[in-house]
Amino acid sequence: MISIRFLAVLFIATLIAVPASAQERRVPASPAELRLSYAPIVQRVQPAVVNVYAAKVVQNHNPLLDDPIFRRFFGVPGGDQPEQMQRSLGSGVMVDPSGLVVTNVHVIEGADQVKVSLSDKREFEAEIVLKDTRSDLAVLRLKDVHEKFPTLDFANSDELMVGDVVLAIGNPFGVGQTVTHGIISALARTQVGITDYQFFIQTDAAINPGNSGGALVDMTGRLAGINTAIFSRSGGSQGIGFAIPSNMVRVVVASAKSGGKAVKRPWLGARLQAVTPEIAETLGLKLPDGALVSSVVPNSPAERAGLKVADLIVAIDGQTIEDPNAFDYRFATRPLGGSAEIDVQRAGKKIKLAVPLESAPDTGRNEIVLTSRSPFQGARVANISPAVADELHLDADTEGVVVIDLADGGTAADVGFQKGDIIVSVNNQKISKTSDLEKVTRDSSRFWRITLLRGGQQINVTLGG
């Protein structure tokens, strides 16, 4: 029989061998611990999780109804075609007692009306304070409120570990507020393809349609992330859900609280590429990790810090960088002002560089919406400033006018223009700035000959007037 003294020695040796951070995380030691409940955490956080209802008016367009003979033959009245209310459902999290709610952009995109329903069934109209499409996060403010609301505190998502227990709270399928539990399945997922910042928490806590914008909370009841997407072939949960880390959410909420209409983030001023196994072999690396610098913008923070083409970024402020997506996320969550220390490998030597944390210059953007009768009607376009190039992942020296948004139902959207298209010329006239494009669209023309760049490829289009 094993003596009590031996067990005590073994227990002490185990404590010595296990890091302090892991001592706080342990498996249940007895059947009694398995009967423990998450109810106290849920009761504390549930009032801060809300339901978000968005509605927009869309006009049903049947091309047959444009034909007067069809309308007369079938007795269909002329005039405007019937409108329909299109609704979407999601979740949100109260992050400020004054009534600020964070949710996903895709929950409220294009909405004419947004309502927020609290856990006590009260409903409030809400206004959109800020939309950050790059992170798929939006901040709402409840209207006409005169009380303080319960909120969730932010966790430090960099401290999360694979295997940590988490709870997902939201309104799946509109059945009402629901709580599911699971673990963090993976961290720093960078190949998901949902937002510009590819750095997600993966969880097996059941997430379904309607959970978008809801809370992923840790065992202290703090907000670890905002649930945003699922991987599914059936439309339901298959145990693979993704959440935006709380450290990114914190940046967007801070911008909204400061009164900003857009999120200001640090600008590196360099293009990065992934390290392939072939590149790793060329550089003499054991693993294909890091972010390789492929170009540097003149007079950018990167150039002033001394970053050069072919430098390999391996860490930022002591945090390991595995690929360009990881760097983009880490850099974007740094506060403006001061500098970030990056570790670089250059010609086999390790060096440290201090990169100033500055936002990209946005002078000369001259953003306009084109309204004249033309193929561009309904397109929002801008000159390519460093800030625009950074937002749309364009080379800073790209010339032309870029499409940054398209109105639903506008001619530009109908003919197939896409966000990020760069208009180079129209009817053989070079387009260098937005005023050039606005001027050429005022000219009535039967045919439009358009040259544009999409994904680095030149496309020539001819459209009837």
> How far is it, in rounded angstroms, from Cα 284 to Cα 277?
10
Instruction: Provide the strand spans (E) within 246-337.
Output: 270-274, 291-296, 312-316, 319-320
Give the relative orientation of helices 246-257 and 324-332 as an angle to the nearest 10 degrees.
40
Report whether 399 contacts 366 (CB < 8 A): no
- In whole angstroms, how far apart are CA 123 and each of 96, 176, 349? 17, 14, 60
Kindly state the greatest CA–CA separation across the chain: 98
Return the ∠ at Cα 389 (arms to 387 and 390), rounded to 5°: 65
140-145's contacts with Cβ under 8 Å and 24+ in sequence apart are 140/52, 140/92, 140/100, 140/101, 140/102, 140/103, 140/108, 140/114, 140/116, 141/98, 141/99, 141/100, 141/101, 142/99, 142/101, 142/116, 145/98, 145/99
Asked if 202 and 242 touch (Cβ cutoff 8 Å), the reply is yes
Element (H, E) at 401: strand 401-406
Closest CA to 274 of 296, 255, 246, 294: 294
- H or E segment at 387? helix 386-392
Sole residue written with tokens 């223009």: 417
Cα 223 to Cα 93: distance, rounded to the nearest angstrom: 9
| 8 A C-beta contact, residue 149 and residue 122 | no
Catalytic residue among 88, 117, 185, 212: 212
List, in order, residues 6 or more apart from 166 with CB less than 8 Å away. Answer: 181, 182, 183, 184, 203, 205, 216, 217, 218, 219, 224
Which residue in the list 91, 117, 136, 204 is annotated as catalytic?
Answer: 136
Q: CA 380, CA 371: separation in Å to the nearest integer? A: 9
Rounded to whole angstroms, how far apart are CA atoms 321 and 96?
32
Give me the catalytic one of 88, 106, 132, 246. Answer: 106
Active site residue 136: yes
Give residue 339's identity as a one-letter amino acid code. Answer: S
Rounded to whole angstroms, the Cα distance separating 324 from 290 reads 7
User: Is 294 in the active site?
Assistant: no
Establish whether 146 is a catalytic residue: no
- Indicate which residues carry an active-site annotation: 106, 136, 212
